[in-house]
Amino acid sequence: MLLRWLDEAQPDVVCLQELKAPQESFPEAAIRDAGYKAIWHGQSRWNGVAVLSRVGDPHETRRGLPGDPDDVQSRYIKAAVSGVLVASLYLPNGNPRPGPKFDYKLRWFDRLQQHLGSPVSLDAPVIVAGDFNVMPADKDVYAPKRWRDDALFAPEVKAAYARLLDQGWTDAIRHLHPDQTVYTFWKYWRSAFERNAGLRIDHVLLNPVAASRLVTAEVDMRPRAWEKTSYHAPVSIELADKPTRRLASSVIGRPR
């Protein structure tokens, strides 16, 4: 499915999550044959992240989120690609809540906020993309009342996401589509995709330099309709070579 989407969509840079493969089993050769260089942080079962590029080698700058030397889960990787700093992340799910998994999610969010405090102010485009496992607001979830007790919709988790935006990050989808119903994830039950009963849990965050170059931000729903495909649909953005707008401080903060 990935190779089909790469061939059809032809993205320049790709962030992958949930590789479900140990380091040595990553399909580097197949991805290289598709025209992409890759760096990856593999792990069996549900973790693993990667950055692919067809517009220059991805030069790894960070493997693993700092702040906890005992955390061995493969959930974060960052690379410099043709003058753009790109991070791919897979934030913990956190269910069941309450419990150790939810506590780990909150700690991971705190570490992420501390880590992203510096790159947000870089004088170069910075993109942080991935499965954040959080619906930031009611408009990001179908039937929000059904999700009040879920770790993806918990007040503490939404507050943690808001603190990231308050650092100066722009939520690309919400910036260009402030009031539109946009989902990135649909379960395989009760025809959720066909009814558009979904969630928006996959996000692309931009620092002010990247946000000033933002042209488009969309969800490519085509792969979600393919057979035996992922629950998720790719989120894609386009950046101009030069700034296209000057962002006011009220826009750089959390989406309205």
Catalytic position from the list 36, 90, 142, 183? 90
Interatomic CA distance for residues 4 and 172, integer angstroms = 25
Interatomic CA distance for residues 135 and 115, integer angstroms = 21
Instruction: Report the candidate in 111, 58, 45, 107 with the shortest Cα–Cα distance to residue 87.
Output: 58
Look up tokens 């910075």; give the residue. Answer: 126
Catalytic position from the list 36, 76, 131, 183? 131
231 flagged as catalytic: no
171 flagged as catalytic: no
Q: Is 104 exposed, middle or buried (0-12, 13-18, 19+ CB in 10 A)?
A: middle
Q: Which residues pair with 37 in a beta bridge?
A: 53
Is 217 within 8 Å of 177 (Cβ atoms)?
yes
Q: Hey, which residues are catalytic here?
A: 90, 131
